[in-house]
Each structure stands twice: as C-alpha cells, then as structure tokens.
Structure 1
Amino acid sequence: MRHVQSRDNAQFKHLRKLATSSRARREAAETLIDGLHLFGSALDAGVRPKLAIVAERALDHVEVKDVLAEQGDAVLLLADALFDELSPTDTPTGLLGLIDIPAEVEEPITGDCLVLDAVQDSGNLGTLLRAAWATGVREVLLTTGCAQAWSPKVLRAGQGAHFGLRIREHCDVAAALKTYPGRIVATRLDAHTSLYALDLRGPVAWLFGNEGAGLSPAVSALATDPAIIPMPGAAESLNVAMAATVCLFEQVRQRLQA
C-alpha cells in the first residue's frame, strides 16, 4: 500500500485530472468509481479496478478492509483532504476505484435501444442508464452534447448500470438506426397516439432529448412512432428521466402480459 500526502505527487495529479476533466478521461480511457456499492457492482460484472484509492479515515471500515485485502498491492492510501478532492460527492465515502473505460462495440442494433440526445445533467443521465438496465435495455446511444457517460457523477447516479450496458458516445444515431428492424419511438407533446396504444412487444428504439430543448430536429425525424404520455394532471411535461422510465416500464408491462 502506497501512502500519498502531497498534492505534488504525480499519481495524485493524474487521479485529480480524471476526477475533474472529461478530456483527461477520454485521453487516458480511465475513470473513477465511488463507493463500496459501485466497487462491488464492478467486481460482480468481472471488472476489477486497477487501483483502490482509500482515505485514511476509512481504513478501519470493515467492508473497506475486505476490499483492500482483495486488491493486494493495488491500493493507494490518501490523506483525507486529498481524497476529498477526488470524490464526486459532498460526503465522500472514503473509497474510490480506478477502472478502464471499455472500448465501444460497433455492431448492428437489432434489439431494444435507448437513444439520448444532448442530455446534459449528470443525474438525469445516470438515472436514464439505470432505468435501461432495470428494464433489460442493453444498448444505449449518446449523441454529441450529452454529459460524459463515464464521468464519476454519472457512474454514481447509475448505481452499477454501466457494467450491464453497451454504451456508445458521440454516436451518429441516423447511421446506427438506418437498418433498425423495430419501432423508433419518440415522446412528443404534439403527438396524437398515446404511449399506451402502441404495441411495444417487439424491439423498440426509444428517443429522448435534452432537458430544455427536447430532441433535435434531426433525431426527432428518425421516429417512426411519435407518442404522447397521457397526463391528466396540470403538469405541462415530465423530467426526461421520469418520462423514459414510464415508457420503458410500459414496455415491460406489455411483454409480461403477452
């Protein structure tokens, strides 16, 4: 176990760049996961962190001790103040992991797919990934303009979803869906068909857009089935993560009843 107490340490400087810079994460193809839950999710998915980073104050935590025992020599002990500079939360857990960002797989999409167009909020993006994971949607396409999927904040919001998904960033969605065999559904307030009137038992590519602007015209035009989520209340619209969750679980409901 190596002990670092200085901000001038080269390894700490590298980790701090990964914690704060999307460019650094892209160039290094590395990122940080935060907390015991994500550490466990990574291990369950066969992803072993290259390095466990632990705060001095967490050394006596029983579960942290178990993680460190499995990590062997691949452990970095940081002074508490240094650790807190790396953590994506206001209440740091005391444990981080360094992992490789997986290479993207460019294969034709034939099953269910979630397309996210310029979704910029890290919490929304992580929640959307978690909803996809929970409903069995494995493919996720992100256009340029989305928050970085593998940022520590999105990873934390995803709660392990990343390790069960195939995520493509900066994706040319029109090209990816050119030969898509199923419905391409976009929720729109001007649509005339209710979500609940669509047959969602076959493969579906779901299109969801930016928190304020919605779908870009180019991505919206890809939809074969515009649909509206009925809202009998006074709300004008739903948060993008809420809307996606409603849609994905309606698909689950239809398939369970089929």
Structure 2
Amino acid sequence: MTSAEPQFITSRDNALLKDLRRLAQDSGAYRKQGRAWLEGDHLCRAAMQRGQRPSHAVFQASFWDASGHDWQDAGGKAVVVEDTLFASISGLESPARMGFVLPLPAAAVLQPDAPTVVLDGLQDAGNVGTILRSAAAFGFRQVVAIKGTAALWSPKVLRAGMGAHFGLALLEGLAPDALAALQVPLLATSSHQGDFLHQAQLPWPCAWVFGHEGQGVSAALSARAARHLRIAQPGGEESLNVAAAAAICLHASAVAGAARAG
C-alpha cells in the first residue's frame, strides 16, 4: 500500500520536486538517478499489471483528494503536490494528474539465443516506444539498442511503450561488435534489396535490425546480417515508417514461429 501519511509538497524548491522535474524533462536523467518517471494513470496501471511497484507515487493535490483511495495498492511513498507545481514537473503539453517513480531494473545480460530486436540509431522516441510494444506483443523478449539510439527509459519512450518495458530485457548503449555474441540469425530491413518478406521463409528465433529513420540500417550492421528483407508496397510509397515496418516484420516472424511450433 502507499504510505498512510503522504508527503505534501508546496514549495518549488523542494529537493524531490527538483529531481522529478529532471526525470520528466531530461531524457538522460534516469541514468544519473537510477530511476525512471512514469506519467499518467494509464501508464502507471500498466506498470502495476506487470508487477512493478514505485518508490514514490506522486499525485496532483486535487486528484489525490478525489481519487487517492483508488491507489492504495500502488506501494511506495505517497507524495501529494500542489496542482500548479505538479504541472511544472510534467514534460507534457497537457500534464497528467499523477506519476510513478520506479527504480531502474538491474542491467540485463545479453541472451545469445533469445528472439531479439536491435535498434540501430533510431532517434524518434515515439518510434522506439512503439517498437518496444510490438516486440513484447510478438514474443521478442530482448531489445538491444546500439549506441546513438534514443534513450530507452526516457519519459517519451516510456509513454509510447505503454508498459512494454516491464516485459522485456533491455540493453542499451551497445557497440555493433556486441552482436557477435548472438547465436540467432540477424535479419536486416531494407527498402531496396533482399527477399520480399511475404515470400520469405523466416527463421525462428532470430534478431531483427531496424535502423535510423532517415539513413536506415548502418553499413556495419548491414554487413553482419544473414539476410536482408523488404516489405512489398503495392501502393507505390518509397518507404514505411520504421515503427510500422517493425510491426509488420515482427508479426511475420511470430506467425512463422508459431506455425513451425505447431
């Protein structure tokens, strides 16, 4: 349960409030603090459903007065922040009414034979979070972010991931050479070369590589790939958004894996 006696914050200079602002507004602050900020009741409930419990459950004062009783099972220290001060924490245009502070999980160890998603320099937090959701949905339990990829535990990626983080082994800041430890075939997406996805016999397990939104998969990782695959686009568009392409590819692999298992 949350603490029976919440901590009330009414000063802008409160130390915890300053830490929360950094977590919410600085994409890399989680690395320094060893904890992450989840904003919004939907995301917080998604985390709880995955067995996560916050160190602090932070509420806008008016929301606490109206709905604090709904969060008695959240765990951690309840913190109630005056409404205008809570708005100063948020990195959202329309601030949410509550959030969690979660300790970061222990660093994951690369699993050589796990179905894996490799993020190669993706910059858009929304794309990264959406791909994490697809990975979790389609049975890819390990995500490797190559150095230069958007910060996996940043508030924007967490919001886009909608709880997927807590069902995945996440490794970030790796060099391309680290992929040599993988014992599953590396599949690289391409807009212009390789087999068409719908005609390919896909291996399972495997590791899919998704590249930078503009430049695609880097030459270093493309050279490591066992296969290159592309998605047929009969409508004639030049390319797909990387998150959309990832969902298509990961679903195709999941279907192939299920068919082989059945």
Give the Cα–Cα distance (whole angstroms) in 1 for the partners of residues 53 and 222 of structure 2: 39
Aligned residue in 2 for 1:65:
69
Deviations 1:69-88 (A, max 9, x none): 23577111111122112223
RMSD: 1.7
Aligned residue in 2 for 1:246:
248
Question: After superposition, where does 1:37-186 map in structure 2 within 5 Å?
Answer: 37-62=42-67, 64-67=68-71, 69-71=72-74, 74-175=77-178, 177-186=179-188
Give the Cα–Cα distance (whole angstroms) in 1 for the partners of residues 112 and 88 of structure 2: 40
Give the Cα–Cα distance (whole angstroms) in 1 for the partners of residues 57 and 21 of structure 2: 14
Give the Cα–Cα distance (whole angstroms) in 2 for the partners of residues 119 and 137 of structure 1: 18
Compare 221-230 and 32-41 and name the one that shifted more.
32-41
Match of 1:232 among 231, 234, 250: 234
Aligned residue in 1 for 2:213:
211
Give the Cα–Cα distance (whole angstroms) in 2 for the partners of residues 66 and 84 of structure 1: 21
Instruction: Tell me by how many angstroms 1:19 deviates.
Output: 1.4
Question: After superposition, where does 1:27-38 map in structure 2 within 5 Å?
Answer: 27-38=32-43
Structure 2 counterpart SS, 1:186: strand
Instruction: Tell me by how many angstroms 1:103 deviates.
Output: 2.0
Give the Cα–Cα distance (whole angstroms) in 1 for the partners of residues 201 and 66 of structure 2: 50
CA change 1:147–1:73 in 2 (3 A) is closer
Deviations 1:211-250 (A, max 9, x none): 1111111122111101111111121000000000000111
Deviating above 6 A after TM superposition, structure 1's stretches of 4 or more consecutive aligned residues are none
Q: Which amino acid aligns with 2:61?
A: E
Give the Cα–Cα distance (whole angstroms) in 2 for the partners of residues 115 and 77 of structure 1: 39
Give the Cα–Cα distance (whole angstroms) in 1 for the partners of residues 76 and 122 of structure 2: 39
Instruction: Tell me by how many angstroms 1:57 deviates.
Output: 2.4
Instruction: Tell me by how many angstroms 1:255 deviates.
Output: 2.9
Matched, 1:5 2:7: no
Deviations 1:119-177 (A, max 9, x none): 111111110000001101000000111111101111111010000001101012332x3
Could you tell me whether the CA contact under 8 Å between 2:112 and 2:184 is conserved in 1? Answer: no
Name structure 2 gaps, 5 residues minimum.
Answer: 1-5
Q: Percent identity?
A: 38
Q: Which amino acid aligns with 1:190?
A: H
Give the Cα–Cα distance (whole angstroms) in 2 for the partners of residues 252 and 18 of structure 1: 35
Compare 1-10 and 177-186 and name the one that shifted more.
177-186
Give the Cα–Cα distance (whole angstroms) in 2 for the partners of residues 117 and 15 of structure 1: 29
Structure 2 counterpart SS, 1:70: coil
| TM-score normalised to structure 1 length | 0.92
Give the Cα–Cα distance (whole angstroms) in 2 for the partners of residues 206 and 34 of structure 1: 30
Q: Which amino acid aligns with 1:47?
A: Q
Name structure 1 gaps, 5 residues minimum.
Answer: none
Q: Which amino acid aligns with 2:30?
A: R
Q: How many corresponding residue pairs? A: 255
Compare 43-52 and 134-143 and name the one that shifted more.
43-52
| TM-score normalised to structure 2 length | 0.91
